[in-house]
Structure 1
Amino acid sequence: MAGKVVVLGFWTSMFGERSRIALEEKGVKYVYRQEDLSNKSPLLLQMNPVHKKIPVLIHNGKPVCESLIIVQYIDEVWKDQAASLLPLDPYDRARARFWADLIDKKFHVAGRKIWSIKGEEHEAAKKEFIEILKQLERELGDKPYLGGERFGFLDIALIGFYNYFYVFESRGNLSMEAECPKIVAWANRCLLRESASKSVADPKKV
């Protein structure tokens, strides 16, 4: 489906990067507009009046909001341009959505606690964060990608958090390589893809 595509995002946002990676994987041309989150543009406020946040995908003037919904929209609209990002089997598709939901509701929340709180609560958050990483490692197993043999929806859901690997290490006093070597190796594989390397910010700059 042709038409003008615009992405409203922010350079350190792991959620905003999902939209860009999905579009790159599908070979869709788009315009990227960097938002100033302290002074949100009239376009952002118009296109996402409910949450007033990025990312927003604007396709032919119509907004799609929330990053995982955006990735699924891209997969459906441009289904004939490249392989499906979501698994074709209904059970595998449901499983991918389950893990993506866990990434947003548990991994992201635990990661934020590492750099925002101190003391005993910080240690508890660190323990929870590492346990979630180990759960993701078990899901990865010996597969090259979280979704299996091909890079897809679940990999897109997680790879943007690579932005913050250095933050997790420095604020959490931990080694991502020591705690979750398979996840680090997986991230390095993902970053060999142009779609990810073009979209994911440098952790040291973050």
Structure 2
Amino acid sequence: MAEKEEGVKLIGSWASPFSRRVEMALKLKGVPYDYLDENYLVVKSPLLLELNPIYKKVPVLVHNGNVLLESHLILEYIDQTWTNNPILPENPYDRAMARFWAKFVDEQVNS
């Protein structure tokens, strides 16, 4: 059984496609969450620096006190924690191909 949705917070930015993808996943799964908009390109908040001291970027997901970083890892966590409306295909090959294309898109966005 999936964990309760208590304590779900997303630190993101309206301009970040990586934050947007996490928001879409939470909405697809029907997970209520608190959203904290971060203007991390101008000034990084103390909360962002505390929760993501290595990369100092969004998105950051906090669930029941656990901090998750990096959008792909956050998406996998969301998909495994709330099993309704799967994000990734069940078939291992199809799931691998979905990850391949997601990585490809990320590389295009970052170049």
TM-score by length of structure 1 reads 0.50
Q: Select the residue among 35, 54, 67 that pairs with 1:50.
A: 54
Q: Unaligned regions of 5+ residues in structure 2, if any? A: none
Q: Distance in 1 between matches of 2:14 and 2:97?
A: 29
Q: Select the residue among 13, 36, 41 that pairs with 2:39.
A: 36
1:13 aligns to what? 16
Q: Distance in 1 between matches of 2:96 and 2:103?
A: 11
TM-score by length of structure 2 reads 0.91
Q: Distance in 2 between matches of 1:53 and 1:14?
A: 12
Greater relative CO (CA pairs within 8 A, separation 6+): 2
Q: Select the residue among 59, 72, 76 that pairs with 1:68.
A: 72
Q: Distance in 2 between matches of 1:108 and 1:48?
A: 21
Percent identity between matched residues is: 47
Q: Deviations over 1:55-78 (max 9, x none)?
A: 000111211111111111100011
Give the aligned residue type for 1:109.
Answer: N
Q: Distance in 1 between matches of 2:85 and 2:64?
A: 23
Q: Distance in 2 between matches of 1:23 and 1:44?
A: 20
Give the aligned length.
107
Q: Distance in 2 between matches of 1:36 and 1:13?
A: 10
Give the aligned residue type for 2:59.
Answer: P
Q: Distance in 1 between matches of 2:32 and 2:101?
A: 29
Higher CA-based Rg: 1
1:97 aligns to what? 99
1:27 aligns to what? 30
Q: Shift of the alpha carbon at 1:18?
A: 0.8
Give the aligned residue type for 2:51.
Answer: M
Tell me whether 1:4 sits opposite 2:7 in the alignment. yes
Structure with the largest fraction of helix: 1
